[in-house]
Amino acid sequence: MSDIPSDLQPLCNGRELLDSGQAVPFDLMYGGQTCRAFAIRFQGQAYAYLNRCSHVAMEMDWQPNRFFDDTGRWLLCSTHGAVYEPSTGACRSGPCRGGLVAVPVTERDGVVYWHAQYPFAPLAF
């Protein structure tokens, strides 16, 4: 029997997430809709958020799976320039209306998992 709780969904191998590097995208159900989300690593820790700017519900990446600015310090929305804190999703500048919606993640034995718990759910295939 596995010691992985049933609400943990495998997302990626932890080595796929490089500090301030490309994100790993994934889909989930949120509010009854299929939504795109992304996982990143910042200062050694894995984080995940819905790929939805708080200003206007649009995907944020300026190139596929690229969210960090040139310094690797901030997450940017490509449409209106909102700037978010990678470790909390909090808005730091720009036309934000609150922070990013965080998706809880856990890293265990080299694998990053996302927590499929209300209000998030895995997609049924």
pTM of the model: 0.90
Domain coordinates of the chain in residue numbers? 8-121
pLDDT for 32-78, tens place per residue?
889 999 999 999 999 999 999 887 777 898 889 999 999 999 999 98
User: 82-100, pLDDT tens digit by residue?
Assistant: 999 999 999 999 888 789 9
Topology annotation, domain 8-121: Rieske Iron-sulfur Protein (2.102.10)
* DSSP string of the chain, one letter each residue: ---S-TTEEEEEEGGG--BT---EEEEEEETTEEEEEEEEEETTEEEEEES--SSSS----SBTTB-B-TTSS-EE-TTT--EE-TTT--EEESS-SS---B--EEEETTEEEEE--TTEEPPP-
